[in-house]
Each structure stands twice: as C-alpha cells, then as structure tokens.
Amino acid sequence: MHELSIANSVVELCAERAMGARVLRVTLEIGRLSAVMPDAIRFCFDVCAKDTVVEGAALEIVETPGLARCLDCGGSVDMTDLLEHCACGSVNLELLAGSELKIKQMEVV
C-alpha cells in the first residue's frame, strides 16, 4: 500500500527530527494531485507511530489545490485532476502546484 510507506517515512523523519523529544503535532501538506488519500495516511500514520516518539501525535493534513500554467495562452488552470485542460482547449500545461507531499510543521514537547 502506497500510503503505508509514505506514513512510515513521515513517522521516521519526524522521530529523527524530534531527537528523542515527544512529538505533539505534525502538519502534512498533501497536494490534491499527488494521488495520496489523506484518510489512508491518517490511518497508517497511527499504525506506524505506535511505539515511537510520534505515538499519539495529532496529524493535521492540509490539502493544497492543483495549479498549472497553460503553455499556449499563458492562462492559469485550476487542476482537480491530471486530465484537466485549459479554457483555450490546450492540454499543454505546466504543473505548478498540487503534486507535493511534505512535512510542513512539527511540534514537539
């Protein structure tokens, strides 16, 4: 499962950065086009965090919308999925945001 390995690396990264301190809260930024299910991450996060300093930490997930620039007319396009096209009809798009997945913030004791 895709989400399980992601959750696992998030937990590992947080535990590493916490350097022995207890992690209270983790904020994750997940792009809407990253094909990652926030609910699945939430579930896997709790499983992976068990018996680590991350156990019991609140997981906050911020979903970032997809955004692309049309390479033909220069217009910006809101991306709800990767098959989106520009109002001018072009599918020649440069993805600017929405595929990221990163740890935005972490709170420790």
Query: 62 or 91: whose CB is closer to Zn ion?
Result: 91
The 10 Å CB-count burial string (b at 16+, else e) for 43-64 is: ebbbebbeebbbeebebebeeb
User: What secondary structure does DSSP assign to 2-51, as a single string?
Assistant: HHHHHHHHHHHHHHHHHTTSPEEEEEEEEETTS---HHHHHHHHHHHHTT
Nearer to Zn ion, 72 or 100 (CB): 72
Annotated ligand binding at 88? The verdict is: yes
Minimum separation from the CB atom of position 78 to Zn ion (A): 13
Contact between 88 and Zn ion by CB under 5 A: the answer reads yes
Contact residue for Zn ion among 22, 90, 95, 103 (CB under 5 A)? 90
Residue carrying structure tokens 């911020």: 62
Stretch 54-73: interaction string toward Zn ion, x if CB under 5 A: ----------------x-xx
| Residue 73 is assigned to a ligand binding site | yes
Measure the CA–CA gap between 30 and 102, rounded to whole angstroms. 7
To the question of whether residue 85 is assigned a binding role by annotation, the answer is no
Query: Which residues are annotated as part of the binding site for Zn(2+)?
Result: 70, 73, 86, 88
Q: Which residues bind Zn ion (CB under 5 A)?
A: 70, 72-73, 75, 86, 88, 90
